[in-house]
Amino acid sequence: MKRKYERPMAFEETFMTNEYVAACWGVACSIDSANKVDKGHYGVDHVAKHCGLDTNQHIYTNSKGVAVSMIEEGTDGLGNLPCNLYTDSSYRYSKSYSSVKQGDYIYWTTKSGDRTWHHQGYVKSTYKNRPNHS
């Protein structure tokens, strides 16, 4: 069998994404401060291994890096809870997610049944070991 000689050539491919993977930021609830706000409300406790972990609250961003939503995961058997953002510790006035940036101290609530948790904490950057977690 005869083989045909082919001249060596280099080809270059450019990787083009066809889909945006949202980045997300973590927020750990400052459990001591939050427990002071919810003191005396039966069944409403802020615990280090749940809302106290920055891996349990995620702020999701769009392709421009602007915050668009927040979910609490890893609850104590309550499933994923949507978070409502507020301007300050009075928890009276809603705040747009688009105004949130890394390093901000924020206030939010989660609800399950007739219970409402009043959270607060610092927004942290995307996890170092999971840069595209979403």
In a domain? residue 109: yes
Number of domains in the chain: 1
In a domain? residue 58: yes
Q: How confident is the model at residue 130 (pLDDT cuts 50, 70, 90)?
A: low
Q: Looking at beta carbons, which pairs linking 101-107 to residues 24 or more positions away fall under 8 Å?
A: 101/67, 102/25, 106/27
Instruction: Reduce the DSSP state of residue 96 to 3 states and report it.
Output: coil
Give the pLDDT of residue 129: 55
Per-residue pLDDT tens digits for 46-102: 999 999 999 899 999 898 889 999 999 988 889 999 999 999 999 999 999 999 999
pTM of the model: 0.78
In a domain? residue 107: yes
In a domain? residue 10: no
In a domain? residue 45: yes
Average pLDDT, the chain: 85
In a domain? residue 115: yes
Residue 23, pLDDT > 70, answer no
Give the pLDDT of residue 24: 80
In a domain? residue 133: no
Q: Is 39 exposed, middle or buried (0-12, 13-18, 19+ CB in 10 A)?
A: exposed
More confident residue, 15 or 8: 8
Domain that holds residue 90: 24-124
In a domain? residue 3: no
